[in-house]
Amino acid sequence: MKGNLENKQVAIIGGGPGGLTLARLLQLKGVDVKVYERDINRDVRVQGATLDLHFESGLKVMEAADLMDAFKANYRPGADKGRVLDEHAKILYDEHDKESTEDFDDERFRPEIDRGPLRDMLLNSLQPDTVVWDSQFKSMVQIGNIWKLEFKNGNTATADIVIGADGANSKIRPFITSTKPFYSGVTIVQGNVPDSETAAPGIHKLLKGGKLYAYDGEKFLHVSSKGDGSLDFYVSCKKEENWIQNSGINFSDKTQVLAWFKEEFSKWDSVWLELAENVNLPLLLRPQYCMPLDQTWSTLPNLTILGDAAHPMPPSGEGVNLAMLDSLELSECLTNENFKDIQTAIASYEKQMQIRSAKEAQESLEMTEWMHSERATERLLQMLA
């Protein structure tokens, strides 16, 4: 079952969905694995909107990880339903009025789950002490065939194989390739409003437990309900790469955030102001980068990357699904006895991962382009129809 990982210690850097899924899949095959995560403990609040898992990727991985029953117990029925609105908060398209399926055998069904419950579900599936918390990666050096890892808290560890699952700002990626992602032209400003029913009643009513999408040429606004009663929103806007530093706006300051929002959404209905008036600060600021579509690198004998660490791209609804599919394919390659060694197994994984992610990145860039165009709403309504 272990293939080339017999008697090997695997270190996964990063305890997001991709890293935890890989750990689960490897442990099912008897592999010795540790996950090093920078969060202080598992109770740190998990930021980000809800995730939808797809039939051919995320849900397929849930089956392979023997976690489908746990997923069904934690997903949020109805949270996948969306509404398209104009800037005046007029509803243009409403999935709440449509027939929908909750059938996990239906390829069109994309059930939603909050990031926190997904992480808890994955953590609960791991052997005790698999995750080493408060372990922010600092550096590593190869001594013979072994990696020596050093963390910012002063602790060290060793591993035969290191896998970077540490996101778009990966510290592992530079050990593999000098190719840098390029700026996509958009920056996301993200926030969370606790207790939306009380704090933002207008938006909460429009949400109806699902999602909202509103477009306005240079930007679009996405709002999603969460199982804890809060809502997440993000504004994706066309800005120059260093806009955050050059804007002079302190996104930790309520007055400045409100002033920015009022200027950015000056032609929008006042109901949208509920978001800026009640958001937890500071806002999360995320310039969006994308991998070069033709990226390749020479496979290393005992080091690889997955998910956003390998293929950062603007959000397209595929991010977590791609990371989980990477984890499944990497686990299968590493434990496949037909590969003569670990390097050959990694090479097979990386080839398929790069082909798949290049296609998704191209589609992500095309989506980013039309979603920030004057005809974005019209285009979306045509697609939905």
Q: What is the DSSP letter of 133?
A: -
**Looking at the predicted structure, is the pLDDT value of residue 317 above 80?**
no
Q: Give pLDDT, residue 282.
A: 94
pLDDT at 133: 98
106 annotated to a ligand binding site: no
Compute how many other C-beta atoms are within 10 angstroms of the C-beta atom of residue 335.
21
- Residue 108 confidence (pLDDT): 83
For the CA atoms of the chain, what is the radius of gyration? 21
pLDDT reported for residue 55: 84
Note the pLDDT tens digit of each residue in 263-314. 999 999 999 999 999 999 999 999 999 999 999 999 999 999 999 999 999 9
Rounded to whole angstroms, the maximal C-alpha distance in the chain is 64
> pLDDT of 335-377, one tens digit each?
999 999 999 999 999 999 999 999 999 999 999 999 999 889 9
Domains 3-65+115-180+292-368 and 182-289 share a fold: no
**Domain positions in the chain:** 3-65+115-180+292-368, 182-289
52 is in an annotated binding site: yes
More confident residue, 54 or 172: 172
Q: How many other β-carbons are positioned within 10 Å of the β-carbon of residue 109?
A: 17
3-state class (DSSP) for residue 215: strand
Report which secondary-structure segment, H or E, holds 207.
Answer: helix 201-207
Within a 13 Å sphere around the CA of 99, how many CA atoms are in the beta-carbon half?
1
| Confidence at residue 318, expressed as pLDDT on a 0 to 100 scale | 77
Q: For the segment 5-29, what is each residue's pLDDT rounded down to a tens digit?
A: 999 999 999 999 999 999 999 999 9
Q: Which two tokens stand for residue 284?
A: 């999360």
Instruction: Please tell me whether residue 174 adopts helix, strand or coil conformation.
Output: helix
- Residue 119 assigned to a binding site: no
Tokens 């926030």, located at residue: 191
Q: Let me know if domain 3-65+115-180+292-368 sits in CATH 3.40.640.10.
A: no
pLDDT at 109: 82
CATH class of 182-289: alpha beta
Spatial separation of the C-alpha atoms in residues 345 and 10, rounded to whole Å: 14
Q: What is the mean pLDDT of residues 139-144?
A: 97
> Has 308 been labeled as part of a binding site?
yes
Could you tell me which residues are beta bridge partners of residue 257? none
Strand runs labelled E in the chain: 9-13, 32-36, 51-52, 82-85, 91-94, 112-113, 131-132, 137-143, 146-151, 156-159, 161-164, 182-193, 211-216, 219-225, 231-238, 284-290, 303-305
